[in-house]
Each structure stands twice: as structure tokens, then as C-alpha cells.
């Protein structure tokens, strides 16, 4: 946002920086001396802000943003325009639930809404595509603490969390929707320092840098070979891929990995899992070229990162190339495994069995014959295997 140059109140506060408290005291003493020498009225020194001045700066920025984007409709005194635009002063729509206010600021609002006993029907635009998270936080803090309002401030992190939770929304809210508990509150998905919950978790587990999921981590995993790869997915889903045999060893939910012992110097330690294992492979490599045959040998050729950083593993079996991409299920606890198969000249079988009772398998193609899924070359070209967790301990 462009601002005119020159000395503004915000500029003065920013110039004071970390030493603003000491300078304020010195300024107060100097004003007393000047008053004695020149007969001037001494101004009381400004109080040192208890929070380092961040709230004061946010309020100054918030006021500028309010004057630019909000004042035309809601007026400088926050009273709105009778019959057209509702007041912001003295209403729970502003001072109540933060998440509700942030949803309105991000996406706008339409339809009838009752404010202080009056029904308004005008449409409010959303500012999420124009203002950043910090700016939304500043204007929200300003309106919640101005006029007769005395509600708590809003942080940039809180705006970020609401924005992520409502990222798929492209229409203004209605009062009816915002009365639902599903559209109130602030999701607990991002740490206070701006990192995702997964990044905070991995950093606190001994990692020297924050990690955003999806994450691929080459490490020594329990119940797997030395060629193990831990993959952390969004929504607290994780799995261990064993490159020496070419398949997922197990999957867990509730956290990622803890390498504290390794980072502390114990090179013989296995990586500790955070969460509960809900799937263990009991059949080995899952593909067969004939029903009932043993698992064939596998040549692993590595992986590439696709999309938002998901690893796609590549391996060959009897000159048939298979690529596997694993993502979290978008609505339930579980994994969606997408396979691409090239060079197949006959039926291919995908076998399951012996897994924990809490996992259910679904296929996008082929026909199940007990624990065996039969796929033609055309069906196997691209298909998905969905592993859904459905036991009582699943979220």
C-alpha cells in the first residue's frame, strides 16, 4: 500500500525502535528543561508501551486501512449509515468471535443481517484478495478496539489460519452460515511464529530447520531397512517407504517423526514416530503377474517431487515400469495411492491381506477376487488404491 512520504506518527514510533521507552523518558526530562528555560508548557512524556509498541503500530496502520477501505460506508465514528450500512461500534459482530469477523473481512458478506436491532441488506465486499494477512489483522484490531469497543487484538497468525481454512471459498458469507459453529473460531493449524503446525513439530523434534509438509526425509526407520524414507503429509498423515523393496512398510497418523536422539549424537538410534501406526504391510511387494505367485524382485529407480512437493516413486518389475504417488485422503483419515503402469502386456494383480482391521481398501479400477485385485493393461495404466482408516480410534 503506497503511503505519502514524510514524518508520520507511525514513522516516529518506528524510529524509536527497541529504545523507545528510554528515549521517551529522556524526552520527558528535556521538555521540562525547555519549559523552565523558555517558558514553554511542558508536555507529559508518553508512557512506554508494555508490548514494545507493536499494538500501537498495528492500530496506526489499522486506522489508515480503515480510512481507505471502510470509512466510506461505516463512517469515521463507526456508526455506519442508517438504513444502508451497519454500525461497527458496539456490536458483537465486531467484538465477538474473531474467526467470524475475519471470515467477513476476507470474503465479504451478503443478505440480511441484524445489527443492534436493525436489519441491513447491503453487500460487503471481501478484502482478502487485496489486503495481506498483516493488513487484515491490523484493520480487525483497529475496529475491535476503537470507539466504545474494547475487544482483544487480532494477530497475523490468526488471519493466516482462517485464510487457509477458507481458501476454497469464492462467495460472500451470509449471516445464517456464520451462525454455524463450522464457520466460527480460528483453526489450530499454524504456530504463533507463522510456521505450520507440522513445521513447529519437526523443529521442536531436533530438526535444525523448519519443515513444511509434504516432507521427504531420508532416515533410519524402525521395522524397515536402512534404505527407508519417511514422508510427512498434510493432515497429520505419514508413511514409511522402503526403497530396498519398493513399497510402503507402514502408515501412521497423529504426528510426524522425532529425530532428537539422532541429532543429539546417537548415530545408532532409530527415528521415533509421533502418532499411531494404523497400517502395516503384511504381503510384501503388492504387485503380482499371476494370482497366487510370490512377490517378484523389484528395481528401485528413485523418486521425483510433483505438485506441491509430493514424492512420486519409480520402480520396475520384469521390465514393467510402475510409478506411485501418495497423498492424504481429502475428507477422511487415510491415503490415496495413484499408480501409473507402463509396459504391461497381460493382467496385473494387486494383493492385500493381513493388514490391521482398521484399514479398508478401495480401487478405482479392476475387479476384486478376495484380497486380490485383477487389472487389465488398460485398467492398470492409471488407477488408485485408497486405504481408509475406519477403526474407532480414527479422528
d(CA 242, CA 164): 33
Q: Examine the domain organization and report whether 251 and 114 are in the same domain.
A: no
Q: Examine the domain organization and report whether 170 and 219 are in the same domain.
A: no
Over residues 339-343, the mean pLDDT reads: 97
Q: Examine the domain organization and report whether 126 and 242 are in the same domain.
A: no
d(CA 139, CA 153): 10
Instruction: For residue 207, tell me if it sits in a domain.
Output: yes
Please identify which residue in the block is written with the cell numbers 521442536: 204
Instruction: For residue 1, tell me if it sits in a domain.
Output: no
Q: Which three cell numbers stand for residue 17?
A: 525502535
CA dist 170 → 97, 125, 128 (Å)? 22, 12, 10
pLDDT of res. 15: 32
pLDDT of res. 390: 72
Instruction: For residue 86, tell me if it sits in a domain.
Output: yes
Q: Quote the number of domains for the chain.
A: 2
If you average pLDDT over every residue of the chain, what do you get? 80
Express each pLDDT in 199-247 by its tens digit: 455 444 545 555 678 999 999 999 999 999 999 998 889 999 999 999 9
Over residues 274-281, the mean pLDDT reads: 89
Whether pLDDT at 346 is above 90? yes
Q: Examine the domain organization and report whether 96 and 165 are in the same domain.
A: yes
Express each pLDDT in 161-199 by its tens digit: 899 888 888 889 999 889 887 788 888 654 444 444 544
Q: Examine the domain organization and report whether 238 and 362 are in the same domain.
A: yes
Q: Examine the domain organization and report whether 252 and 300 are in the same domain.
A: yes
pLDDT of res. 322: 98
Whether pLDDT at 140 is above 50? yes
Secondary structure class of 14 (helix, strand, coil) = helix
Over residues 246-256, the mean pLDDT reads: 91
Express each pLDDT in 59-109 by its tens digit: 778 899 999 999 999 999 999 999 899 999 999 999 999 999 999 999 999
Instruction: For residue 147, tell me if it sits in a domain.
Output: yes
Instruction: For residue 35, tell me if it sits in a domain.
Output: no
Instruction: For residue 211, tell me if it sits in a domain.
Output: yes
CATH of the domain at 123: 1.10.760.10
Instruction: For residue 324, tell me if it sits in a domain.
Output: yes
Secondary structure class of 65 (helix, strand, coil) = helix
Express each pLDDT in 4-27 by its tens digit: 333 333 332 233 233 333 333 333
Q: Examine the domain organization and report whether 308 and 279 are in the same domain.
A: yes
d(CA 377, CA 381): 6
**Whether this model's pTM surpasses 0.75:** no
pLDDT of res. 157: 79
pLDDT: which is higher, 202 or 329? 329
Q: Examine the domain organization and report whether 176 and 204 are in the same domain.
A: no
Q: Which three cell numbers stand for residue 287?
A: 504387485
Q: Examine the domain organization and report whether 173 and 202 are in the same domain.
A: no
Of 201, 212, 315, nearest in space to 259 by CA: 201
Range of the structural domain that residue 56 is part of: 49-183
Instruction: For residue 31, tell me if it sits in a domain.
Output: no
pLDDT of res. 11: 32
Over residues 308-330, the mean pLDDT reads: 94
Q: Examine the domain organization and report whether 257 and 376 are in the same domain.
A: yes
pLDDT of res. 160: 85
Q: Examine the domain organization and report whether 111 and 248 are in the same domain.
A: no
Q: Are 146 and 78 in contact (CB under 8 A)?
A: yes
Pairing relationship of beta strands 257-258 and 272-273 according to DSSP bridges: antiparallel
The full length of the chain comes to: 395
pLDDT of res. 29: 40
Amino acid at each position: 500500500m503506497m503511503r505519502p512520504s514524510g514524518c508520520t506518527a507511525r514513522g516516529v514510533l518506528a524510529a524509536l525502535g527497541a529504545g523507545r521507552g528510554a528515549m521517551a523518558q529522556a524526552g520527558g526530562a528535556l521538555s521540562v528543561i525547555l519549559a523552565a528555560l523558555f517558558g514553554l508548557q511542558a508536555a507529559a512524556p508518553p508512557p512506554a508501551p508494555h508490548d514494545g509498541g507493536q499494538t500501537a503500530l498495528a492500530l496506526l496502520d489499522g486506522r489508515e486501512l480503515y480510512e481507505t477501505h471502510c470509512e466510506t460506508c461505516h463512517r469515521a465514528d463507526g456508526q455506519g449509515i442508517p438504513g444502508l450500512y451497519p454500525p461497527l461500534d458496539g456490536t458483537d459482530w465486531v467484538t465477538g468471535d474473531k474467526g467470524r469477523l475475519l471470515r467477513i473481512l476476507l470474503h465479504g458478506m451478503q443478505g440480511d443481517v441484524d445489527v443492534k436491532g436493525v436489519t441491513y441488506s447491503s453487500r460487503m465486499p471481501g478484502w482478502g484478495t487485496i489486503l495481506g494477512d498483516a493488513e487484515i489483522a491490523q484493520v480487525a484490531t483497529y475496529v475491535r478496539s476503537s470507539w466504545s469497543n474494547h475487544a482483544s487484538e487480532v494477530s497475523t497468525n490468526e488471519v493466516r489460519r482462517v485464510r487457509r481454512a477458507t481458501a476454497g471459498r469464492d462467495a460472500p458469507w451470509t449471516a445464517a452460515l456464520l451462525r454455524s459453529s463450522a464457520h466460527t473460531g480460528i483453526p489450530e493449524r499454524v504456530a504463533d511464529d507463522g510456521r505450520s503446525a507440522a513445521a513447529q513439530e519437526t523443529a521442536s523434534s531436533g530438526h535444525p530447520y523448519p519443515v513444511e509438509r509434504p516432507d521427504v526425509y531420508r532416515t533410519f526407520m524402525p521395522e524397515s531397512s536402512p534404505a527407508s524414507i519417511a514422508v510427512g503429509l498434510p493432515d497429520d498423515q505419514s508413511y514409511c517407504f522402503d526403497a530396498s523393496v519398493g513399497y510402503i512398510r507402514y502408515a501412521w497418523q497423529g504426528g510426524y517423526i522425532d529425530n532428537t536422539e539422532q541429532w543429539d549424537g546417537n548415530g545408532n538410534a532409530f527415528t521415533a514416530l509421533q502418532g499411531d501406526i494404523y497400517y502395516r504391510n503384511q504381503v510384501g511387494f503388492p504387485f503380482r503377474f499371476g494370482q497366487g505367485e510370490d512377490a517378484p524382485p523389484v528395481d528401485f529407480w528413485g523418486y521425483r517431487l510433483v505438485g506441491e512437493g509430493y514424492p512420486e516413486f519409480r520402480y520396475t518389475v520384469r521390465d514393467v515400469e510402475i510409478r506411485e504417488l501418495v497423498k492424504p485422503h481429502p475428507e477422511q483419515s487415510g491415503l490415496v495411492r495413484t499408480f501409473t503402469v507402463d509396459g504391461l502386456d497381460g493382467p496385473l494383480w494387486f494383493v492385500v491381506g493381513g493388514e490391521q482391521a482398521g484399514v479398508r481398501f478401495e480401487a478405482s479400477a479392476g475387479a476384486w477376487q478376495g484380497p486380490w485385485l485383477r487389472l487389465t493393461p488398460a485398467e492398470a495404466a492409471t488407477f488408485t488404491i485408497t486405504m481408509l482408516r475406519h477403526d474407532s480410534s480414527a479422528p
